[in-house]
Amino acid sequence: MTTLNAELRTFYAARQQQIPAEIREIMQRAGRELADSGQADRALTAGDKAPRFTLPSATGQTLSLDALLAEGPVVLTFYRGAWCPYCNIALRHFQQHHQAITARGARLVAVSPQIPDESLTLAEKHDLAFDVLSDLGSDTAKQYGLAFDLPDDLAAVYGKLGFDLQRVNAGHPRTLPLPATYVIDRDGVIRWAFVSTDYTTRAEPADILHLLDALG
């Protein structure tokens, strides 16, 4: 099976050939500025207590971290939205490893700032068996130190590309989370963390399984 990040690298290389040079420059400059901001280093990491949250799911339920932890460890992954092709690739890989994650007694949950209807469409499109939650306004992402605002020129590019973030993010078009995945133990302590300012790289599911094995 191709690893997640190998597929992401292949997709990125092909995608770069399709994007005009002036748009690539805006995207790359925004990426450098975000990396230089040091935000990834300020986000929560292993050893920190996981902030509690209660969020609506794509299917109309409301789920809390406390309720999830009552059942076992939680794998919590933040993604940008259904409009992001890199997120779609990542979520498909998580779905492929979902059974292995649940077999280890853990619960996989994905969180984005998009409205529940968008999350439902995403879940149905990819036959996701795990919960997809809506963090409207990115309040939960802010607690984890992940939320950031798109610069003006990149926000304009996303608009031209047809990403209607004003609608799908319920009036919060500029705020997105850094791609991040956490493994949280039953005591609510983050035991493993992947946080990146580069949306073209993601946590590798195999690494998550190794950590869950170590947790026992």
Under 8 Å between Cβ of 62 and 56:
yes
Place of tokens 């292995």: 100
Q: How far apart are CA 216 and CA 207, in angstroms?
A: 15
Place of tokens 């590019």: 157
pLDDT value of position 154: 95
Structure pTM?
Answer: 0.96
pLDDT value of position 126: 83
pLDDT value of position 120: 79
pLDDT value of position 125: 85
pLDDT value of position 1: 74
Q: Among 105, 124, 104, which Cα is nearest to 116's? A: 124
From first to last of its 216 residues, what are the pLDDT tens digits of the chain? 799 999 999 999 999 999 999 999 999 999 999 999 999 999 999 999 999 999 999 888 999 999 999 999 999 999 999 999 999 999 999 999 999 999 999 999 999 999 988 887 888 888 899 999 999 999 999 999 999 999 999 999 999 888 999 999 999 989 999 999 999 999 999 999 999 999 999 999 999 999 999 998
pLDDT value of position 122: 81
pLDDT value of position 95: 95
Under 8 Å between Cβ of 205 and 75:
no
